[in-house]
């Protein structure tokens, strides 16, 4: 096996992006459904995690249902300050993801905090540290969250 998923790896990834059974021998149940061997399924998943094709294998949590909060935010960062501002956000633990995007609002990040009140405090901390105004885009409604990708 290499760091590139083969056809069977892709089949496993596509079949396993949800619905992993909650039974005593879940890998055996998956293996049966796909016509594979239990230990081969376990070995392939372990390999895919090890080489980083899978970030992890397990439950995906909904932070908000666990009392936490997340909020998409954006900054319009002057080009000459872009790297410095990115470094400031990299050091703030409340910033979970940060992406450069092509737009006047050129830096898009997600704040994740343990409580809803923490979001406003974190947004203000970003403003204090950068001197820039944080555009806040809290989700008002979620239509679907598939997060499935075709391997």
Partner 1 sequence: MMPDDTDRRLLAAVQAGLPLVREPYRAVAERLGLDAADVMARLERLLASGAVRRIGAVPNHYRLGLIHNGMTVWDVADAEVDRLGAAVGALDFVTHCYRRPRALPLWPYNLFAMVHGRTADEIDDKRAAIARLIGDACRASDMLPSTRILKKTGLRIGA
> Which positions from 107 through 146 interact with partner 1, judged by CB under 8 A?
107-109, 112, 114, 135-146
Q: How far apart are CA 46 and CA 62, in angstroms?
A: 24
Residue 88 engages partner 1 in binding (rule: CB under 8 A): no
> Nearest distance from residue 125's CB to partner 1, in Å?
15
- What three-state secondary structure class fits 112? strand
Question: Residue from 2, 35, 79, 104 that binds partner 1 (CB under 8 A)?
Answer: 104
> Nearest distance from residue 129's CB to partner 1, in Å?
14
Q: Give the phi and the psi of residue 63 in degrees, each rounded to 5.
A: -55, -35
> Nearest distance from residue 46's CB to partner 1, in Å?
5
Query: Which residues, 29 to 68, sit near partner 1 by CB under 8 A?
Result: 38-39, 42, 45-46, 48-49, 51-63, 65-68
Two structure tokens written together for 31: 């293996």
The secondary structure element, H or E, covering residue 137 is strand 135-137
Cβ atoms 107, 82 nearer than 8 A: yes
């Amino acid at each position: 096996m290499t760091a590139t998923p083969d056809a069977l790896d892709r089949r496993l990834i596509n079949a396993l992006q949800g619905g992993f059974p909650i039974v005593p021998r879940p890998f055996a149940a998956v293996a049966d459904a796909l016509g594979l061997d239990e230990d081969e399924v376990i070995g392939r998943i372990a390999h895919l995690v090890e080489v980083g094709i899978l970030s992890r294998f397990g439950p995906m949590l909904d932070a908000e249902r666990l009392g936490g909060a997340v909020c998409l935010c954006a900054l319009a960062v002057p080009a000459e300050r872009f790297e410095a501002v990115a470094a400031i956000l990299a050091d703030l633990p409340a910033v979970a993801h940060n992406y450069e995007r092509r737009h006047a609002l050129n830096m898009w990040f997600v704040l994740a905090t343990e409580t809803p009140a923490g979001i406003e405090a974190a947004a203000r901390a970003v403003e204090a540290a950068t001197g820039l105004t944080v555009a806040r885009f809290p989700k008002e409604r979620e239509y679907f969250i598939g997060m499935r990708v075709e391997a």
